[in-house]
Chain A
Amino acid sequence: MNKLFTRIGLAFVLLFSALSFAADKPAPEQPVDNGLLWAQLKDGATGYTTSQSEFHAMPINHYDLRVLELRSDWLAPGLMAALFGMIIIFALFIMVNGISKLHHGFSGKMVHRWSKFDISIHWLGAIPCLTLILTGLTLLAGRFFLQPFVSEGFWASFVSIGKQIHNIMAFPFMLGWLLMTLLWAKNQMPKMYDVKWFLVVGGYINFGPFKGKHPDAGFANAGEKMWFWTFALFGLVISASGLLLIFPNVFEPSRTMSLISLVLHGVSAIIICAFSIVHIFMATVMSEGGMDCMISGYCDENWATQHHNLWYDEIKANGTLQYKD
């Protein structure tokens, strides 16, 4: 009998102790709502897992799935167009318009324009830039435009080598970009006469009201300035997003951040690629005598007076004009 009372008493004590514990938690507990659980999972809730692998604590990483279409439907054809489309457009333009000739021919007197160091940083950026465009095109658009026409083995090694070259060439490119951006910016500041340059399309149109126009230009003309600042800005974007993608172990970006980088990288690539094609055409074909600048560092005196009159007048006036020996 005594034993029974002890048991009942103990049960009472336990009952009230349980109640007192419950009283410490004032919030009424909601019944488990599975719908809520899925909503939390879709919002990227994380949980406990024994797995040590990357991102494994989060069952669902939510992001805007339109990123996928953006890459395949817009960026891939966009980069194709920026490369091949621009080449075709510019070639047609030159066939119709003709090139920009030196009106007084070559004078034979060569004026110092670029130092040897300037030329080397130009090519330090330029050669990797070209390889990056071609390998980047393979990585972004190759599966749509090349893979269907080649064997599986060729494609596998091609895209693999493309990736290796892309990763390696990124570093000289970034160094070239950094040096060019920092060292050349002082000559690229916009001036009022740049507006007039744009109004006559730089004097490169050989027909209609634009024919024979020669707008003022300093060391760099307005078109070159536009290219310089575009390159400076998108070079920064492409370098930053590229570093994030190449060193995930250092920056530890989220998956969404990596996808955003991927899109920014593609957009920057399209812009830089399109400008690069124009830049190459202008220097090699369009502007007679222009290519000498980045080979010897000297330009023809007639080229200087025709295309960069203000710069020529300035160096002549302040005595910094140097002829090639």
Chain B
Amino acid sequence: MALKLADYKTDVHNDWCPGCGDFGIVNAIQMALADMGIQRDKAVMFSGIGCSGKTSHFINTYGIHTLHGRVLTFAQGAKITNPELTVVAIGGDGDGLGIGAGHFVAAGRRNVDMTYIIFDNGVYGLTKGQASPTLKLGEQTKSLPSPNTNYNVNPIGLAVASGFTFVARGYSYDIKHLKDLIVQAVNHKGLSFLDVLQPCPTYNDINTRDWYAGVDLMDEAQKRHSRIYKLEETGFDPVVHYADEVEINEKLSQSLIKSLEWGNKIPIGVFYKNDTISPYITRLQDKIPNYMENPPSKQNISKNGHSNTDISKILDSLEV
């Protein structure tokens, strides 16, 4: 039976602030799951802590609401032990790029076949609006006592540098585009990263929905100039077409340059896609030939209530 969009929604009350950008993201995830027809009980949403962390409760698949900064660790453990699962990890920018930055970098190096979506709003919402790692130096959102004293992290650049093999940015108020990005990210064989710009209407009074829409940039003819533009509409080619150092370096460099664009022109879309790097499970399979058909979660570990593992050869080598 084909699944409908409604099948991916739970009846859990959603307590995000009215007008929160998170609503668009959760809708886009549900739409993407429905689009791909992924069985609900073959998918797991892992989430971190903060407003975005509640997302796993709103999606009707397996949902694991983990710890602050640690979502990738749980998610990788599940995917490695059961490679059949569709795994999506979700968290805020503070969660993934502040407390969880070490895991972010290490996950890139592993390239486990799953998707990581960061809800990027520049503030710590649930603790009342402190500066997050993506807020620019010197900016002062409304609940900060003084301007931000830290330089911002560049999520796209960090992902590319860390080894993520699919790196894209979406915008929470362009749901259809975001949904398409999520579909591409989930279908990518390797670790995909989606940085989703998401206005926080309560605490971020700088990067608001109107700001992204370029209301302040209106010209004399009252014509809007949205700050956001789509990379794919500019002929930008993010794909590494063949496994060659020059080709890879070129695609890496152009994505990094693009990731630095901010201010009046903010690119969304796919920055980088490299299918020439092996996913982590393939690396395990190189050592353990039957890993895919007999991964840890599928292994039978007992016979008649006793161990069925034969360690006699190792014991022989220790016997005197």
- The yes or no verdict on A and B being binding partners is no
Residues of A within 8 A of B (CB): none
